[in-house]
Structure 1
Amino acid sequence: MDKNISLYSLILQNFIDKETIQKIKPDTILFQEDENVQHVYIILSGSVSVGRVHMKGKEFILKILNGEEMIIEYELFKHAPRYHFSAKTLSDCEILMIKREQFEEFVFNDKSAMNALVNWLSTRYL
């Protein structure tokens, strides 16, 4: 397999025919900060805000993700990982939601995917 293929492409090749693409309306919360990690999110189209809530309740947007981006919690492989931020759709979105366990199995069994994940985590996490 090509060493330079992106993690996004590898994930699509592996999961696009196995998982249902979710059509999600604007202002839908995908997950909240401190919830257990359930999924890896592959944004096919639309915009998603990633942020945190201050102690006083004010929401801070850390980044806005658009089509062809991913949300992967960096502590995914820890026992009982939790999200360190929240995510909410800003527009109509098409998102491929991959169960954490399936994603872990994919990465552990595919050296190219593991290398691509390490590269992605070291350069593009947020």
Structure 2
Amino acid sequence: MNTEKIARIFFKYKEPSRGLINFLDEYTEIIHYPKKTKLLKEGQISQHIYFILSGSIRIHSYDQQGNNQTSSLLFENDLVLSVFSFFSNKPSVEAIETIEDCEIIKIPKKQLEKIYEDFPEFNYFGRRMTEEYYINSEKRIYNLRMLSAKDRYFQFIEENQQALKRIPLRYIASYLGINLSTLSRIRANT
């Protein structure tokens, strides 16, 4: 039974009802994915949301010059989805890929709608997760516009201490909007 693993995702907001946890346990999947698994490819329509129980994931796309750009680095208890594709039902401009071996709760879009209908309390969790997702997104955009590369690196490490041990530096550099040689210089001077 996966009840405890599922409940752990939601406890940071408030305690979910036993009925909601039992429903999630029965109607969602916990799947193990090896590292470098594409959960969503560019051009596919996103039909699932994911919650990371263990491991790490990146969301990325290619710019006009063909450079791979990491837009999100996600860890345990994070919500993962291609926001544009999931809500617009249009092809994704991003890919979602595991960085490490992952254990993930996978919820199909149809099932998510049923959870919202049958368990109004889930609307609270959905709203809180959406708020957190957008706060993090806005913070990232602000940091890219307003902070120096060095300051972005230090802030990222302060908020994601496990990242240096778990995430390849090329993904961190891309996420910070700098090239790998700039990141290497910053790290060498600290």
Say what the alpha-carbon RMSD is for the aligned residues: 2.6
Letter in 2 for 1:18: Y
**Corresponding position of 1:53:** 62
SS for the counterpart of 2:27 is: coil
TM-score (norm 1): 0.77
Higher relative contact order structure (alpha carbons within 8 Å, sequence separation ≥ 6): 1
- What's the TM-score once normalised by structure 2's chain length? 0.54
How many correspondences in the alignment?
A: 120
Query: How far 1:77 moved relative to its partner?
Result: 4.6
Matching residue of 2:119 = 110
Higher relative helix content: 2
* Identity, % of aligned positions: 21
The alignment partner of 1:16 has SS state of helix
CA distance in 2, matches of 1:45, 1:111: 28
Q: Deviations over 1:86-111 (max 9, x none)?
A: 21100110111111100122123322
2:108 to 99, 120, 126: 99
Contact 2:49 2:109 in 1 (8 A): yes
Unaligned runs of 5+ in 2: 1-10, 138-190
Bigger Rg over Cα: 2
Match of residue 44 from structure 1: 53
Q: Give unpaired runs (5+ residues) of structure 1.
A: none
Write 1 or 2 for the structure with the bigger share of strand.
1
Q: Structure 1's 99 and 116: CA in aligned 2 closer, same or farther, altered over 3 A? A: same
